[in-house]
Structure 1
Amino acid sequence: MASTLKGNSGREYIKNAILRQYPKAPEFNIHRASCGGSLFVVKRVSESFFHLSKELEEEFRESKRLRIYIDCNKAEHTLIYDHYKNTLLGLLEKYPNFPPIEIKKILRYTGNAIKELYEKDWIYIVALGDFNLALKLVDQQPLRAPQAVGNAIWRSPEGQSGKGIAKPSDIFSFGLVCIYSLGGGPILILDNEIIQGLKDNGMPDVLYKSASEITDAEAVDDPDARFERWSRDIAPHLDSDAKKMILQMVNLDPLKRATIQEILHSSWW
Structure 2
Amino acid sequence: MFTYFISRANNEKFILKYVHEDNLEDLQDLKGRLRGTNYVRLVKDTIPEESMFVFQYFTDHLLRLAQKDLPLALTKRILKDALRGIVELHDRDIVHTADIKADNILINWNEDQDGIGIERVQIADLEDAVYVPPGQNIVGLQAGNWMWRSPEAHVRGPINKPSDIFSFALVCIHAVHKRVIFAVGEEELVGNLNREATVVARQMSYFADREGLCAFLDHIGDNPWVPLLEAARDGAFKKDKPRRLFSLLGSVDEDFENLVYAMANFDPAKRITAREALAHKWFDGV
Shared fold (TM-score greater than 0.5)? Answer: yes
Confirm whether residue 118 of structure 1 aligns to residue 132 of structure 2.
Answer: no
Q: Which amino acid aligns with 2:78?
A: I
Three-state SS of the structure 1 residue aligned to 2:179 is helix
Provide the C-alpha distance between the structure 2 equivalents of 1:193 and 1:144, rounded to a whole number of angstroms.
32
Confirm whether residue 138 of structure 1 aligns to residue 133 of structure 2.
Answer: yes
Provide the C-alpha distance between the structure 2 equivalents of 1:157 and 1:185, rounded to a whole number of angstroms.
19
1:170-219 CA-to-partner distances (Å, cap 9, x unmatched) read 1100111111111151534344899xx769xx977379739966x958xx
Q: Shift of the alpha carbon at 1:137?
A: 0.2
Q: Return the TM-score normalized by structure 2.
A: 0.69
1:95-153 CA-to-partner distances (Å, cap 9, x unmatched) read 1x1111010011111111111111110011223311112111023311013x5211121
Q: Return the TM-score normalized by structure 1.
A: 0.73
Query: What 5-or-longer segments of structure 1 have no aligned partner?
Result: 1-28
1:196-235 superposed matches below 5 A: 205=225, 209=229, 216=236, 226-230=244-248, 234=249
User: Which of the pair has the greater relative contact order for Cα pairs under 8 Å at 6+ separation?
Assistant: 2
Flag the 1:79–1:248 CA change in 2: closer, same or farther, 3 A. Answer: same
Q: Which amino acid aligns with 1:132?
A: E
| Partner residue in 2 for 1:264 | 278
Flag the 1:44–1:266 CA change in 2: closer, same or farther, 3 A. Answer: same
Provide the C-alpha distance between the structure 2 equivalents of 1:187 and 1:259, rounded to a whole number of angstroms.
22
Flag the 1:152–1:263 CA change in 2: closer, same or farther, 3 A. Answer: same
| Partner residue in 1 for 2:115 | none
Confirm whether residue 153 of structure 1 aligns to residue 147 of structure 2.
Answer: yes
Which residue among 20, 27, 39 is the counterpart of 2:13? 39
Flag the 1:115–1:103 CA change in 2: closer, same or farther, 3 A. Answer: same
| Partner residue in 1 for 2:264 | 250
Provide the C-alpha distance between the structure 1 equivalents of 2:160 and 2:229, rounded to a whole number of angstroms.
21
Q: Percent identity?
A: 27
Confirm whether residue 83 of structure 1 aligns to residue 23 of structure 2.
Answer: no
Q: Shift of the alpha carbon at 1:265?
A: 1.9
Three-state SS of the structure 1 residue aligned to 2:280 is coil
Q: Which amino acid aligns with 2:75?
A: I
Confirm whether residue 239 of structure 1 aligns to residue 259 of structure 2.
Answer: no
User: Does structure 1 conserve the Cα–Cα contact (< 8 Å) formed by 2:184 and 2:195?
Assistant: no
Confirm whether residue 98 of structure 1 aligns to residue 98 of structure 2.
Answer: no
User: Does structure 2 conserve the Cα–Cα contact (< 8 Å) formed by 1:30 and 1:41?
Assistant: yes
Three-state SS of the structure 2 residue aligned to 1:69 is coil
Q: Shift of the alpha carbon at 1:47?
A: 2.6
User: Does structure 1 conserve the Cα–Cα contact (< 8 Å) formed by 2:34 and 2:92?
Assistant: no
Provide the C-alpha distance between the structure 2 equivalents of 1:240 and 1:142, rounded to a whole number of angstroms.
33
Aligned CA RMSD, in angstroms, stands at 3.3
User: Does structure 2 conserve the Cα–Cα contact (< 8 Å) formed by 1:44 and 1:78?
Assistant: yes
| Partner residue in 1 for 2:167 | 173
Q: Which amino acid aligns with 2:134?
A: D
Equivalent pairs, count: 228
Q: Decide which moves more: 34-43 or 244-253.
A: 34-43
Provide the C-alpha distance between the structure 1 equivalents of 2:26 and 2:256, rounded to a whole number of angstroms.
35
